Amino acid sequence: MNTELLDRLSKRGCEFLGVRYPVICGAMTWVSDPKLVAAVCNAGGFACLAGGNTPSEILERQICETRDLTDKPFGLNLITIAPAYRDHLRLVQKLELPFVIFAGSFPREPEVRAARDTGAKVLCFASTESIARRMLGYGADALVLEGMEAGGHVGHVTLTILLQQVLFKVPDVPVFVGGGIATGKMCAHMFLMGAGGVQLGTRFALAEESCAHPQFKQAFIKAKARDAVSTPQFDSRLPVVAVRALRNRATDDFRKLQLDLVKRLENGEIARVEAQEKVEEFWVGRLREAVMDGDVAHGSMMAGQSVGMVDRVMPVREIIEELILDTEAELQRMRDLLASG
């Protein structure tokens, strides 16, 4: 493929990740398994295993399996609010992974330093310029901006705002962007704005190599963008991270769960930390029901709003090739447009 313009714009991001194409498959619990991660990496992109709350012994096996399936670099996504987080940090020190991505919340400086001390490059999410500066001060090697358009656990700010608040103001390190991205044409404009790479999740959840149940994939194909809704927080006494998923019984049940937990908090029947754990247990369990069992009515169908632009199951290699070809075509169109003036 002729990717002259893309190569020029994405050079820093590609060199940082050690990849041919600056396309990242975002970590998706239950979905980002060794098969999918290796497929993306072998096709020239970058992917990371989803640590989630996986028991360390299982996660270690997944890391070894991924290494057997690809000789390309890949990362491990660590959820800072997961009960298994400390065990996962120790696993990073043991296995010396090339990349560690902190997600869920913001890591502490010693945690970033511990990961870097293993030789890993560290990526941190940032939702404001001040947080971006703090993560860089802690030692982060690169940043990830994920808008609320994305699926799964999300923040409250759109990608268009994050681009202006962070990407335009933090030119010192590679900045990777995601949330609502599904087409090469959109990718092209992210690179024109200075992004080091683009992160997609929903499109890769539908890949042939994705372990997601066929009914899960068919529900994505039928869905419209407006069907992917973000859950509300009902009471400040029970802080919850918003989750974007297709509207179904799970979203209704989550509202009921919050109301029940708030009532129990008021009555002193449960502590806040325990209540928050109940929330995370709900999503982990319901997500497994959807992804692995195909229960699209009661399971959590975590999807970004880009689900409205996904219309078929494709092999990973074809997804990446389509994205790259369309990205280069749009960059050439913009070049010609500017030259004609």
Give the pLDDT confidence of 156-166 residue by residue, as tens digits.
899 999 999 99
- Of all residues in the chain, what percent are helix, strand and coil, respectively (each to 5)? 50, 15, 35
* Residue 290 within a domain: yes
**CATH number of the domain within which 85 lies:** 3.20.20.70
- Is residue 27 within 8 A of residue 77, CB to CB? The reply is yes
Total number of domains in the chain: 2
Residues 158, 263: one domain?
no
What burial letters (b/e) apply to 110-126, b meaning 16+ CB within 10 Å? ebbebbbebebbbbbbb
Tokens of 107: 């890591």
Residues 230, 172: one domain?
no
Residues 229, 169: one domain?
no
* Residue 340 within a domain: no
Q: Which range is most confident: 60-69, 231-240, 275-284?
A: 60-69
Residues 107, 235: one domain?
no
* Residue 203 within a domain: yes
Return the C-alpha torsion angle 8, 309, 200, 137, nearest 10: 80
Residues 87, 54: one domain?
yes
> Distance between CA atoms of 88 and 100, rounded to whole angstroms?
11
Residues 61, 194: one domain?
yes
Residues 111, 205: one domain?
yes
Up-side HSE of residue 185: CA atoms within 13 Å toward CB?
2
Residues 134, 260: one domain?
no
| Strand-strand pairing, 46-50 and 175-178 | unpaired
Range of the domain at 93: 4-212+310-333
Residues 202, 275: one domain?
no
Residues 262, 174: one domain?
no
* Residue 341 within a domain: no
pLDDT in tens, 282-335: 988 999 999 999 999 999 999 999 999 999 999 999 999 999 999 999 999 999
pLDDT in tens, 330-341: 999 999 999 986
Query: Residue 127: its pLDDT value, please?
Result: 84
Please give the average per-residue pLDDT across 208-215, as a whole number: 98
Residues 283, 234: one domain?
yes
Q: Is 242 helix (H, G, I), strand (E, B) or coil?
A: strand
Residues 205, 272: one domain?
no
Residue bearing tokens 């990961």: 115
- Residue 263 burial (CB count, 10 A): 12
Query: Residue 341: its pLDDT value, please?
Result: 65
Q: Minimum mean pLDDT among 175-184, 226-235, 330-339: which range? A: 226-235
Residue bearing tokens 């050079």: 11
> Distance between CA atoms of 146 and 161, rounded to whole angstroms?
10
Query: Residue 52: its pLDDT value, please?
Result: 85
